[in-house]
């Protein structure tokens, strides 16, 4: 079974809500970020990535993918256009679609998941809008990437003091107390 623990940290713009479940137990909800580390292509540098279940695919900022351009296999769009327009965190950016091989690491330096081919949006510099996304991290989205066909699992916590655990696994979790996202 392939399983790696993920990095869970508080969002710097955290919002905390404390409530009581119907059974009277406390429920603490706060903004958390789930991260992993990717090694891309032949580049041995580890790149911090944010797991964003709202993103359709992986997004590679321009400043990041410039380290491994020869590892990218570019895809032509069906309409023969060179670039498309997308939006991330309210900012529009131009991108090309391509694929690259990645290895996904969790925390604690455990062995990575097996290499996988990822289809991603690769940010392109736009002469009409010379300001790049200014993103320093990769985004791991739901489709055509390391989450697809796997389970993203987040363990429950009842207080803000408890550490939230999250992991990525190839097998359907059987523990009924574990909250799962369903098959990605």
pLDDT of residue 125: 83
Q: Where are the extended beta strands (E) located within 114-165?
A: 116-124, 138-140, 151-154
Best CA proximity match to 124, nearest among 60, 47, 43, 32? 60
pLDDT of residue 182: 41
Average pLDDT, the chain: 81
pLDDT of residue 117: 92
**How many CB atoms sit inside 10 A of residue 9's CB?**
10
pLDDT of residue 14: 66
- Domain hosting 29: range is 3-183
Q: What is the separation of C-alpha 107 from the centre of its chain, rounded to a whole number of angstroms?
A: 14
Cβ proximity of 167 and 4 under 8 Å = yes
Q: What is the CATH number of the domain that holds 56?
A: 2.40.70.10
Best CA proximity match to 61, nearest among 127, 118, 140? 140
27-78 pLDDT per residue, tens: 767 777 888 889 998 888 888 898 888 888 899 998 889 889 999 999 999 9
pLDDT of residue 184: 35
pLDDT of residue 19: 82
pLDDT of residue 54: 80
156-175 pLDDT per residue, tens: 766 666 777 888 888 877 76
User: Cα–Cα distance between 154 and 152 in angstroms, integer?
Assistant: 7
pLDDT of residue 179: 46
Number of domains in the chain: 1
Q: What is the separation of C-alpha 105 from the centre of its chain, rounded to a whole number of angstroms?
A: 12
Q: What is the separation of C-alpha 149 from the centre of its chain, rounded to a whole number of angstroms?
A: 14
Say yes or no to pLDDT of 129 above 70.
no
Residues 6 or more apart whose Cβ sits within 8 Å of residue 174 = none
pLDDT of residue 16: 74
The better pLDDT of the pair 84, 3 is held by 84
- Read off the pLDDT of each residue in 7-30 and give the average, rounded to a whole number: 77
């Amino acid at each position: 079974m392939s399983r790696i623990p993920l990095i869970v940290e508080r969002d710097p713009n955290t919002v905390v809500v404390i409530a009581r479940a119907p059974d009277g137990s406390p429920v603490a909800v706060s903004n958390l970020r789930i991260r992993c580390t990717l090694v891309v292509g032949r580049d041995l540098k580890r790149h911090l990535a944010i797991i964003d279940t709202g993103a359709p695919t992986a997004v590679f900022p321009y400043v990041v993918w410039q380290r491994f351009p020869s590892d990218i296999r570019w895809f032509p769009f069906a309409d023969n256009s060179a670039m498309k327009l997308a939006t991330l965190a309210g900012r529009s950016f131009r991108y090309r679609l391509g694929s690259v091989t990645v290895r996904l690491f969790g925390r604690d330096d455990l062995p990575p998941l097996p290499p996988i081919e990822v289809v991603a949006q690769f940010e392109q510099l736009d002469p009409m809008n010379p300001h790049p996304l200014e993103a320093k991290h990769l985004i791991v989205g739901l489709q055509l990437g390391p989450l697809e066909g796997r389970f993203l699992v987040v363990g429950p916590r009842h207080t803000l003091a408890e550490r939230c655990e999250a992991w990525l696994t190839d097998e359907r979790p059987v523990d009924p107390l574990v909250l799962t996202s369903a098959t990605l």
